[in-house]
């Protein structure tokens, strides 16, 4: 068996490539070609020039939206970390049953469709929703606007992205040798100093992985901010959709998409130099 397999790969080198062919063709037709089309459009529509890029990079509206996108992504990442780190810790250091239960709760949101989750938030946070009704019942006069605000879109994005953070940190925490913690204790560390000098640095790779993943995914978020957020605090993907849906400005939309892609690649490159991309997905 081993013999015939090695012969297969040594002599007929084409086989592994043939096995990859369906995937390769699929990626070519549905990813590379459209992406190339977008790149070409960004410099040809409406005419061949770099005008679209000039507009994207210098126009006040676009700059504002880009900055808003990055700030939102950074804030969502921080929130995911704040929520995710304690949860991951709880998972990594509780009994297997409890850990399973938390894992189930965390991953459950993965099994629900993106749109369903977003609409659920609309129902929960809407003016006729249970949360407002509860506040009313408590006798609060000035009812806050929850839906279509930065609050609602951030909340929903954190809900969607937190599992990526949690799983990344959890997997790192799980791999920490308990002897390291014991040895730190025997050397006189406890509580906060043990956490700061030993536990936190040991989990830092998980924090870095989770943060990059959440940040990069968040940069391109479309549905959630569009449906739940305030129109005044648009994110870049929403603006791209806007350009294409309403103004049919394919060139401008494409240029924005390319800028976003480029920035994302830069972030991933920096991360790769520092930690290695291969670690991002465990």
Partner 1 sequence: MTSYLELSKITKTYGNFTALDNVSLSVEKGEFVTFLGPSGSGKTTTLMIIAGFEKASGGAVQVGGRSITELAPHERNIGIVFQNYALFPHKTAVENVYFPLQMRGVGRDQGLRQAEDMLSLVGLKGFGHRHPKELSGGQQQRVALARALVFEPSLLLLDEPLGALDKNLREQMQIEIKRIQRSLGVTTIFVTHDQSEAMSMSDRIVVFEKGRIEQCAAPLDIYHRPQTSFVAAFIGESNLIPATIGSAAGKTAENPTLGAFDYAASDNVLSDGQAVTLLIRPEHIKLSRNPIEGRQNIRMTVETIVNYGDNALVIGRAGDIPMRVRVLGADVVIIREGQECCISWTPESVFVITK
| Least distance CB 204 / partner 1 (angstroms) | 8
Compose the 233-272 pattern: x for residues touching partner 1 by CB under 8 A, - for all others. Answer: ----------------------------------------
How many residues touch partner 1 under the rule CB under 8 A: the total is 19
Q: Please give the distance of CA 196 from its chain centroid, rounded to a whole number.
A: 27
Angle, vertex CA 241, rays to CA 127 and CA 116, nearest 5: 45
- Burial-class residue 230 by CB neighbours within 10 Å (0-12, 13-18, 19+): middle
3-state secondary structure of 51: helix
- Distance, in Å, from the CA atom of 222 to the CA atom of 241, rounded to the nearest integer, reads 8
**C-beta separation of 61 from 68 below 8 A:** no
| Least distance CB 269 / partner 1 (angstroms) | 24
Nearest residue to 61 via CA among 213, 222, 243: 243
Residue number with CB closer to partner 1 (22 or 178):
178
Compose the 195-234 pattern: x for residues touching partner 1 by CB under 8 A, - for all others. Answer: --xx--xx-x------------------------------
| Least distance CB 237 / partner 1 (angstroms) | 37
Residue number with CB closer to partner 1 (189 or 244):
189
**What does the DSSP assignment read for 115-164?**
HHHHHHHHHHHSTTSHHHHHHHHTT-SS----TTSHHHHHHHHHHHHHHH
Q: Which of residues 134-193 bind partner 1 (CB under 8 A)?
A: 177, 179-180, 182-190, 193
Q: Which residues contact 172 (CB under 8 A, 6 or more apart)?
A: 202, 203, 205, 206, 209
| Least distance CB 174 / partner 1 (angstroms) | 16
| Least distance CB 85 / partner 1 (angstroms) | 17
Check residue 122 for interaction with partner 1 (CB under 8 A). no
Residue number with CB closer to partner 1 (171 or 230):
171
**C-beta separation of 242 from 76 below 8 A:** no
Residue number with CB closer to partner 1 (86 or 201):
201
Residue number with CB closer to partner 1 (95 or 190):
190
Residues that bind partner 1 (CB under 8 A): 177, 179-180, 182-190, 193-194, 197-198, 201-202, 204
């Amino acid at each position: 068996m081993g013999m015939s397999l090695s012969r297969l790969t040594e002599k007929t080198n084409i086989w592994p490539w043939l096995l990859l062919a369906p995937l390769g063709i699929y990626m070519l037709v549905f990813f590379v070609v459209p992406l190339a089309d977008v790149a070409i459009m960004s410099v040809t529509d409406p005419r061949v020039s770099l005008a679209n890029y000039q507009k994207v990079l210098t126009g006040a509206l676009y700059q504002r939206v880009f900055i808003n996108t990055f700030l939102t992504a950074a804030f969502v990442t921080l929130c995911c970390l704040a929520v995710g780190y304690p949860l991951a810790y709880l998972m990594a250091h509780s009994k297997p049953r409890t850990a399973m239960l938390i894992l189930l709760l965390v991953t459950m949101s993965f099994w629900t469709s993106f749109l369903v989750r977003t609409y659920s938030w609309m129902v929960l946070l809407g003016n006729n929703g249970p949360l407002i009704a509860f506040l009313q019942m408590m006798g609060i006069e000035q009812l806050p606007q929850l839906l279509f605000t930065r609050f609602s879109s951030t909340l929903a994005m954190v809900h969607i992205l937190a599992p990526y953070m949690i799983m990344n940190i959890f997997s790192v925490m799980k791999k920490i040798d308990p002897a390291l913690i014991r040895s730190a204790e025997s050397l006189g560390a406890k509580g906060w100093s043990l956490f700061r000098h030993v536990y936190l640095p040991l989990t830092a790779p998980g924090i870095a992985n989770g943060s990059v993943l959440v940040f990069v995914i968040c940069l391109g978020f479309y549905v959630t901010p569009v449906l739940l957020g305030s129109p005044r605090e648009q994110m870049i993907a929403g603006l791209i959709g806007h350009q294409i849906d309403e103004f049919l400005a394919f060139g401008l939309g494409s240029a924005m998409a390319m800028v976003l892609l480029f920035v994302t690649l830069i972030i991933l490159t920096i991360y790769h130099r520092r930690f290695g991309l291969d670690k991002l997905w465990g």
